[in-house]
A and B are shown apart, each in its own frame.
Chain A
């Protein structure tokens, strides 16, 4: 798993590249645990190159969602592959998290 990021004044974009499993998800958890994450209005997760996610990867997002919401920071996923979206759907997370098709839609929220 490789994570690159871009920041603007109001948003932080994390580009996920690879597979999020019980071995690699700690890298993402480290990024989302940084205090400065709460300085942004939006955390955008670009999933275009996210090829796989297991419960460990989902758990990282689940564990940070309330903290972000409490700080009025929106967590928005975009460019998600169908097979990855399907894993969110199996647990009903697609209705608890904001997932949009494109970057333009993510930026517009």
Chain B
């Protein structure tokens, strides 16, 4: 089973990434809810990297690798954008406020943080890695 994939920074590749994660995890008998949650967390991070960090520049790419060991899923998402996400800027969204203001965005990382057991961002120069970890039952 292929454990990594490289895509160009186009929104249309979000479906490619979701299908890749789904196909990889299909053999591990996760519940439908857990599988969907992991796919969602990956989709949110990849969408942020494609749209915000890399400006949907299709000449840029990112690489995703996935591994299932000891009842846990580890996913690394690497890119080389000069713009890296700073977790310290994260604020829990107030959903009533989002509705009142009609905000379209700003809840993706809340989903990621609530779904995964750990979410780490590391940067070395322009090499960025987001590492997602989740134990599954």
Contacts and interface: CB of A to CB of B under 8 A. Distances in A.
Given A62-B104, A87-B111, A54 B32 contact: no
Contacts of B111: 54-55, 87, 90-91
- Chain A interface, DSSP helix/strand/loop, else mixed: helix
A24 to B, nearest CB: 9
A55 B108 contact: yes
B110 A91 contact: yes
A57 B85 CA distance: 22
Nearest to B114: A90
Given A52-B40, A96-B95, 14 more contacts: A21-B18, A52-B36, A54-B14, A55-B44, A55-B107, A56-B47, A58-B107, A62-B95, A62-B103, A66-B100, A66-B102, A83-B33, A91-B110, A96-B99
A6 interface: no
B99 A65 contact: yes
Given A23-B11, A23-B15, A62 B36 contact: no
Interface of B: 11-12, 14-15, 18, 32-33, 36-37, 39-40, 43-44, 47, 50-51, 93, 95-96, 98-108, 110-111, 114-115
25 contacts: A19-B15, A19-B18, A21-B14, A21-B15, A21-B43, A22-B50, A23-B11, A52-B18, A54-B44, A55-B44, A60-B104, A62-B98, A63-B104, A64-B102, A65-B99, A65-B102, A66-B101, A90-B111, A90-B114, A91-B93, A91-B95, A92-B95, A93-B95, A96-B95, A96-B99
A91 to B, nearest CB: 6
Contacts of A101: none
Contact of B115 (A56, A83, A90): A90
Interface in A41-71: 52, 54-56, 58-60, 62-67
B85 to A, nearest CB: 15
A67 B115 CA distance: 30
Contacts of A86: 33, 36-37
A62 B99 contact: yes
B28 to A, nearest CB: 17
Contacts of A36: none
B96 A96 contact: yes
A58 B37 CA distance: 15
Nearest to A92: B95
